[in-house]
Structure 1
């Protein structure tokens, strides 16, 4: 699908999801610098092309009142001061090289999906967005959950595979190579820049 995927910048939003300093360090390890370079290249291209950029981050109020102890994943965060620090500055901040610029939108979420409990859907609707370009950490977390919800809402979807990361490399590869292509197009960062540049030239 990647070969036929077209992008109208005026109706496209790039969702940069959960790329916060602590999360990036844990999930990319020795490849952190290269990961940030790829993400920065996608963001800078999208800015130049006039796409809407939305930064999604995880965050909680003091005492994490947003988290239920019944939640198998987030319940561990609620009971751990070490996990709390992961979502507070400096670890909870988006690294400078990929940080929001100007009036770019920042949405703070309290669950896995970028849609759950946020105003993302309203913002997309208000800006007449019909195409979403997704990447982030983790592949099996925010990227998967957001993609499934967006697909059910009839958005046109693309995923930047090498701007996603997961601690389970086999699961990451399965999602990127087998599952995500059933819901949209999958690009490398370079492939996305080339494909969207070609679209720009036609418009």
Structure 2
């Protein structure tokens, strides 16, 4: 792994409208690995960047041709930056100095200022976590790899509605472009 000062932990789409569905459905503390990664990064001086999905009132950014996002209002309710659904889940609240990047599509880079923040801080290594593995994690990993970032995916700090899709991605697809570690293995590698 690259020098810690050049790395950042991305917590992606761990917001009420998305994370809440997983936390409520599982009935367990499914966000525990996210919290452990967050605490480890903070304790070691690794910058943390939160990424969320949000739209303007009335959703002018959403085309009716976009199969996934054209249903967003029905599936998630209000998703403007001020709405409850777009707020970071209480289990992993950002500190005032930790940026919250708002994106407009699946990848953390699309429609956001993420790349400007990364460049301004000299970050060349991304540690990825998020919901869903087959959504924001996959799309961000692919785009970040094309942009030549060094990548680590925290396999247990990623959630997907389909456990088999999650397994295939973290075991077969992601290792082609990233190191794939559990949160505990990542923490051990930092020490």
TM tier, shorter chain?
over 0.9
SS in 2 for 1:186: strand
The corresponding residue for 2:54 is 59
The corresponding residue for 1:49 is 44
Q: Which runs of 5+ in 1 are unaligned?
A: 1-5, 198-203
**Paired residue for 1:11, among 6, 13, 35?**
6
Q: 1:32 to 1:161 in 2, by over 3 A?
A: farther
Distance 1:112 1:30 in 2: 22
The corresponding residue for 1:129 is 123
RMSD across aligned C-alpha pairs, in angstroms? 1.7
Distance 2:2 2:31 in 1: 23
Structure holding more helix per residue: 1
The corresponding residue for 2:69 is 74
Matches within 5 A, 1:28-177: 28-31=23-26, 33-78=28-73, 80=74, 83-85=76-78, 89-177=83-171
TM-score, normalised relative to structure 2: 0.92
- Are the equivalent residues in 1 in contact too, given 2:55–2:79 (CA < 8 A)? no
Q: 1:32 to 1:164 in 2, by over 3 A?
A: farther
SS in 2 for 1:85: coil
Q: How far did 1:34 drift?
A: 2.6
CA distances 1:94-139 after superposition (whole Å, capped 9, x unpaired): 1223011131010111100000111111111111111000010010
CA distances 1:64-106 after superposition (whole Å, capped 9, x unpaired): 111111111101125x3x5333666433321223011131010
TM-score, normalised relative to structure 1: 0.87
- Are the equivalent residues in 1 in contact too, given 2:17–2:85 (CA < 8 A)? yes
- Are the equivalent residues in 2 in contact too, given 1:165–1:172 (CA < 8 A)? yes
Q: 1:95 to 1:83 in 2, by over 3 A?
A: closer
Identify which of structures 1 and 2 has the higher relative contact order when contacts are C-alpha pairs closer than 8 Å and 6+ apart.
Answer: 1
Report the structure number with the largest CA radius of gyration. Answer: 1
**Greater shift in the superposed pair: 22-31 or 107-116:** 22-31
**Greater shift in the superposed pair: 84-93 or 9-18:** 84-93
Q: Which runs of 5+ in 2 are unaligned?
A: none
Q: How far did 1:159 drift?
A: 0.2
The corresponding residue for 2:182 is 188
State the aligned residue count: 190
